[in-house]
Structure 1
Amino acid sequence: MSKVIGMGNALVDILTRLQDDTILSELKYPKGSMQLVNIEEVANVLLATRDFPRNQASGGSAANTIHGLANLGVETGFFGKVGRDEWGAFFRSDLEKRSIKPYLLESDNESGRAFALISPDSERTFATFLGAAVELAHHEIPDSLFDDYSILHIEGYLVQNRDLIRHALQLAKSKGLKVSLDLASFNVVEDNLDFLHEMVEKYVDILFANEEEAKAFTGLAEEEALHKISEFCDLTVLKLGKKGSVIKHHDEIVKIAPIQVESLDTTGAGDLYASGFLFGMIHGLSIQQCGRIGSLLAGKVIEVIGPKMDDATWNMIKEEVAALMN
Structure 2
Amino acid sequence: MSDFQVLCIGNAIVDIFARVEEDFLTEHERIKGSMMLVDAETSARIYDGMPPAVERSGGSAGNTAAGIASLGGKAAYMGKVHKDQLGDVFRHDIRAIGVHYETEASTEGAPTATSMILVTPDAQRTMSTFLGACGELALSDIDEDIVARADVTYIEGYMWDRDNQKEAVLKAMDVAHENGKLVSLSLSDSFCVDRFRSEFVELVEERVDILFANESEIISLYETDTFEEAVERLRPHVKLAALTRSEKGSVVISKDGEVSVPAHPASVNDTTGAGDLYAAGFLFGYTSGKSLEDCARLGGLAAAEVISHLGARPEVNLKKLAASELGL
User: Which TM-score band (shorter chain)?
Assistant: over 0.9
The letter for the 2-side match of 1:7 is I
Measure how far apart 1:320 and its partner are: 3.0
The letter for the 1-side match of 2:9 is M
The letter for the 1-side match of 2:85 is E
The letter for the 1-side match of 2:261 is I
1:8 match:
10
SS of match in other structure, 2:309 = coil
**Do the aligned partners of 2:14 and 2:59 also contact (CA within 8 Å) in 1?**
yes
Measure how far apart 1:191 and its partner are: 0.7
1:217-264 CA-partner distances (Å, limit 9, x unpaired): 011221221232233321111111111111111141111111222100
Matched, 1:218 2:219: no
2:147 match:
146
1:95 match:
94
SS of match in other structure, 1:99 = coil
1:255 match:
260
**Do the aligned partners of 1:70 and 1:76 also contact (CA within 8 Å) in 2?**
yes
Q: TM-score under structure 2 normalisation? A: 0.93
Structure 1: distance between partners of 2:56 and 2:48: 20
Summarize the alignment of residues 281-296 of structure 1 with structure 2, pairs less than 5 Å apart: 281-296=286-301
C-alpha distance 29-231 of structure 1, shift in aligned 2 (>3 A): farther
2:122 match:
121
2:309 match:
304
Structure 2: which 5+ residue stretches go unaligned?
Answer: none
C-alpha distance 275-143 of structure 1, shift in aligned 2 (>3 A): closer
**Do the aligned partners of 2:285 and 2:298 also contact (CA within 8 Å) in 1?**
yes
The letter for the 2-side match of 1:101 is H
The letter for the 2-side match of 1:282 is T
**Do the aligned partners of 1:293 and 1:321 also contact (CA within 8 Å) in 2?**
no
1:74 match:
73
| Percent identity over paired residues | 36
**Do the aligned partners of 1:269 and 1:307 also contact (CA within 8 Å) in 2?**
yes
Count of paired positions = 320
1:134 match:
135
**Do the aligned partners of 1:166 and 1:199 also contact (CA within 8 Å) in 2?**
no
Measure how far apart 1:85 and its partner are: 0.5
Summarize the alignment of residues 171-190 of structure 1 with structure 2, pairs less than 5 Å apart: 171-190=175-194
Measure how far apart 1:316 and its partner are: 4.3
1:207 match:
211
Structure 1's consecutive aligned runs of 4 or more residues displaced over 3 angstroms after TM superposition are: 313-316
Measure how far apart 1:322 and its partner are: 5.9
The letter for the 2-side match of 1:238 is L
**Do the aligned partners of 1:226 and 1:238 also contact (CA within 8 Å) in 2?**
no
**Do the aligned partners of 2:79 and 2:137 also contact (CA within 8 Å) in 1?**
yes
C-alpha distance 315-199 of structure 1, shift in aligned 2 (>3 A): closer
1:50-73 CA-partner distances (Å, limit 9, x unpaired): xx2311211111111110001111
Structure 2: distance between partners of 1:244 and 1:233: 20
Measure how far apart 1:140 and its partner are: 3.3
SS of match in other structure, 2:199 = helix
**Do the aligned partners of 2:185 and 2:212 also contact (CA within 8 Å) in 1?**
yes
The letter for the 2-side match of 1:149 is A
Matched, 1:236 2:241: yes
Q: CA RMSD in A?
A: 1.6
Matched, 1:54 2:53: yes
**Do the aligned partners of 2:70 and 2:314 also contact (CA within 8 Å) in 1?**
no
